[in-house]
């Protein structure tokens, strides 16, 4: 008989205030003593690519007393490491750990879309288990031949990562089904397949993962279908899959990839800025063509029991929109920290907004602002907005 997968080693002690993504998600799923929330909430995973992005996320977590989940993709760690992904992991995790030590919220660091298929992917995951608190092992797609990975291979490769990571105390996220769309240079697919409920039972039992990204209709990237068409998620399938997982182990949590929504006011603001450019037509059309998933669809997933929602596009758009605004306000400021501060404050606003939408506030202490009063508005300074909501 095949050996059963190793359980997550809960004796592993991470540095001050660091914990696994799974610990934060399980708290969101179940609640616990000290967590007065009766309704389920979700932990948004913020994909960061710069140190300013980390600062913005920490500011948002600390204002709201939120659980903090910072994700990095393969291309993000390459960016942090100036071309060297392993060096990037070291810099990213070192910076986050130092920030967490000075903080009063709990923080997890997670590798987004790691894979154990390619040599490059294996090397990144093997390094990530030394630096992060959680990894994703996405072996759902064979990118070399652009087709879904056969179930048996996905299980074998994901199990290898669980065998390595669980004894070290790191949680592992697996993926079953194929998500369409483009996230970054390393994560894109033209096709999509829903997660097959019959395969889920075997995948979860044989791999031992405690975090699962199923495919129920979400898409990566800023263009989720044709402009004018609304993305429709398969919520009944989400319920069916969760029931299967709960029967195996109630500690299994679900993750929604491609769960970006759009902020209409951010898009509108960007369009106003582009309008002032000399040849605005091509950029403008791209902004007009962005299609996100409506928040009520994502809310349906959270209500069904999804605990981690991956959000990136709307944060990138917020950054870009604010940058466009800062340049059209003053494109001759020689102190480049001025642009830095404007974009970092904008990202902070976006993160605060998403944490409030997900119900992830007041988890570790009472929020320092009145969340009902917060109004996301790029035309105002962050300090003014926060003062208005105290
Ligand atoms: Zn994803």
CA distance 354 to 328: 27
CA of 220 to the centre of ligand 1 (A): 6
Q: What is the DSSP string of 267-288?
A: HHHHHHHHTTSSS-HHHHHHHH
Residues 6+ apart with CB under 8 A from 115: 121, 125, 137, 138, 139, 143, 157
Give the chain's domains with CATH numbers. 21-344 (3.20.20.70)
CA of 188 to the centre of ligand 1 (A): 9
CA of 58 to the centre of ligand 1 (A): 22
pLDDT computed for residue 269 by the predictor: 86
For strand 181-184 and strand 187-189, is the pairing parallel, antiparallel, or unpaired? Answer: antiparallel
CA of 124 to the centre of ligand 1 (A): 17
φ, ψ of residue 136 in degrees (nearest 5): -100, 135
pLDDT computed for residue 184 by the predictor: 55
- For residue 220, the cross-strand partners are 181
CA of 195 to the centre of ligand 1 (A): 15
Q: Is 223 within 8 Å of 314 (Cβ atoms)?
A: no
CA of 217 to the centre of ligand 1 (A): 12
CA of 182 to the centre of ligand 1 (A): 9
Residues 6+ apart with CB under 8 A from 386: 63, 369, 374
CA of 250 to the centre of ligand 1 (A): 23
CA of 359 to the centre of ligand 1 (A): 21
Is residue 8 classed as helix, strand or coil in its secondary structure? coil
CA distance 102 to 28: 23
CA of 140 to the centre of ligand 1 (A): 11
CA of 285 to the centre of ligand 1 (A): 25
Six token digits for residue 194: 């829903």
pLDDT computed for residue 185 by the predictor: 53
CA of 266 to the centre of ligand 1 (A): 23
Give mean pLDDT in consecutive 10-residue pieces for the chain, a chain of 390 residues.
Answer: 89 97 93 60 96 98 98 97 98 98 98 96 97 97 86 97 98 89 58 85 97 88 70 88 95 89 87 73 81 88 91 94 91 90 98 96 95 94 94
CA of 296 to the centre of ligand 1 (A): 20
pLDDT computed for residue 142 by the predictor: 86
For 57-78, b where at least 16 C-beta lie within 10 A, e where not — what string? bbbbbbbbbbbbbbbbbbbbbb
Residue with tokens 């390094």: 127
pLDDT computed for residue 290 by the predictor: 84
């Amino acid at each position: 008989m095949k050996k059963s997968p190793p359980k997550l080693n809960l004796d592993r002690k991470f540095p001050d205030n660091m914990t696994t993504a799974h610990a934060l998600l399980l708290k969101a799923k179940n609640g616990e003593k000290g967590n007065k929330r009766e309704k389920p909430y979700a932990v948004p995973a913020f994909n960061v690519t710069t140190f300013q992005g980390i600062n913005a996320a920490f500011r948002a977590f600390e204002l709201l007393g939120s659980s903090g989940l910072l994700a990095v993709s393969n291309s993000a760690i390459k960016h942090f490491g100036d071309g060297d992904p392993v060096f990037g992991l070291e810099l990213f995790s070192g910076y986050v750990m130092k920030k967490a030590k000075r903080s009063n919220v709990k923080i997890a660091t997670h590798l987004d879309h790691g894979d154990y298929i390619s040599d490059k992917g294996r090397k990144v995951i093997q390094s990530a288990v030394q630096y992060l608190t959680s990894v994703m092992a996405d072996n759902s797609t064979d990118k070399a031949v652009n087709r879904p990975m056969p179930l048996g291979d996905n299980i074998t490769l994901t199990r290898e990562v669980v065998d390595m990571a669980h004894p070290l105390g790191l949680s592992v996220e697996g993926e079953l089904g194929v998500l369409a769309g483009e996230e970054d240079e390393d994560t894109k697919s033209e096709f999509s397949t829903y997660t097959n409920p019959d395969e889920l039972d075997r995948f979860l039992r044989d791999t031992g993962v405690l975090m699962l990204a199923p495919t129920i209709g979400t898409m990566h990237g800023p263009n989720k279908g044709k402009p004018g068409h609304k993305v429709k998620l398969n919520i009944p399938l989400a319920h069916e899959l969760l029931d299967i997982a709960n029967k195996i182990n109630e500690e299994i949590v679900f993750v929604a990839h491609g769960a970006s929504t759009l902020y209409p006011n951010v898009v509108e603001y960007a369009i106003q800025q582009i309008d002032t450019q000399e040849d605005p037509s091509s950029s403008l059309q791209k902004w007009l063509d962005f299609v996100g998933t409506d928040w009520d669809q994502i809310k349906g997933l959270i209500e069904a029991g999804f605990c981690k929602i991956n959000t990136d596009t709307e944060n990138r758009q917020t950054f870009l929109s604010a940058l466009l605004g800062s340049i059209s306000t003053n494109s001759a400021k020689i102190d480049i920290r001025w642009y830095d501060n404007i974009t970092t404050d904008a990202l902070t606003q976006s993160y605060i907004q998403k944490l409030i939408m997900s119900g992830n506030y007041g988890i570790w202490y009472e929020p320092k602002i009145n969340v009902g009063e917060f109004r996301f508005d790029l035309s105002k300074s962050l300090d003014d907005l926060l003062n208005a909501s105290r």
